[in-house]
Amino acid sequence: MTSRAAFVKRSTPILGGVATAAVLALTLAGCATGSAPGTDTESTTIPETTISEPTAAPEDDGRLEANVIVLDARYDEGAGTIEVSSIVTSHIGDGTCYIEATSAVGDTVSAEVEALPDAQSTVCPTTTLEGVTAGEWSVTVTFDSDEAYGASEATPAEAL
């Protein structure tokens, strides 16, 4: 074996490892932004706070069961806010997201925002709940549309 052939043979696994590391680094770099799919980290819009209750999902009304997941619930005690990001993974389409935070003593704050369908899911845009007092809070997001209905599990709001 010539010295060039030996060099190529020995360097091939190293180059493969370098390529794998580069792909992994680029993939993880997208996660470092802290934003959910379909959200804009450059500007935060506060939705109107006109609140209406989601329609109750009858047992057999023909709508699909929506899988709603709270991606992030960040509690800022100093600002008196909770910032919530959530997604509907089992449905792509228009609808309304109802976000409600409940304190350990039973106080509630809520908001609603129009859902944004994207290529693979429906996004409930990042929403800031205001008027949050000190203490522990949990967040629930409900999605409601003509085609689907669902609610997330209660998720603790994490302090910043």
Q: Is residue 100 situated within a structural domain?
A: yes
Q: Is residue 10 situated within a structural domain?
A: yes
The reported pLDDT for the residue numbered 130 is 96
CB 128 within 8 A of CB 136: no
- 71: CATH: 2.60.40.10
- Across the range 39-62, mean pLDDT stands at 52
pLDDT, tens only, 135-158 = 999 999 999 999 999 999 999 998
CB 117 within 8 A of CB 62: no
- Please check whether residues 5 and 80 belong to one and the same domain: no
Percent of the chain with pLDDT over 70: 62
Per the structure, the complete domain to which residue 153 belongs is given by 64-159
pLDDT, tens only, 73-86 = 999 999 999 999 99
- Please check whether residues 130 and 73 belong to one and the same domain: yes
Secondary structure percentages of the chain, helix, strand, coil, to 5: 20, 40, 45
The reported pLDDT for the residue numbered 155 is 97
The reported pLDDT for the residue numbered 50 is 42
Confidence band (pLDDT; 50, 70, 90) for 57? low
* DSSP track, 48-61: P----PPPP--TTS
Between CA 98 and CA 49 the distance in angstroms is: 11
- Please check whether residues 70 and 133 belong to one and the same domain: yes
Q: Is residue 149 situated within a structural domain?
A: yes
- Please check whether residues 68 and 3 belong to one and the same domain: no
Q: Is residue 81 situated within a structural domain?
A: yes
- Please check whether residues 154 and 81 belong to one and the same domain: yes
- Please check whether residues 27 and 69 belong to one and the same domain: no
Q: Is residue 57 situated within a structural domain?
A: no
Q: Is residue 89 situated within a structural domain?
A: yes
Domain count for the chain: 2
Please, what is the average pLDDT of the chain?
77
pLDDT over 70 at 126, yes or no: yes
pLDDT, tens only, 24-48 = 344 444 444 444 444 444 444 444 4
Choose between 27 and 89: higher pLDDT: 89
- Please check whether residues 16 and 82 belong to one and the same domain: no
Q: Is residue 43 situated within a structural domain?
A: no
pLDDT over 70 at 129, yes or no: yes
CB 124 within 8 A of CB 83: no
- Please check whether residues 28 and 70 belong to one and the same domain: no
Q: Is residue 45 situated within a structural domain?
A: no
Distance of CA 122 to the CA centre of its chain: 10
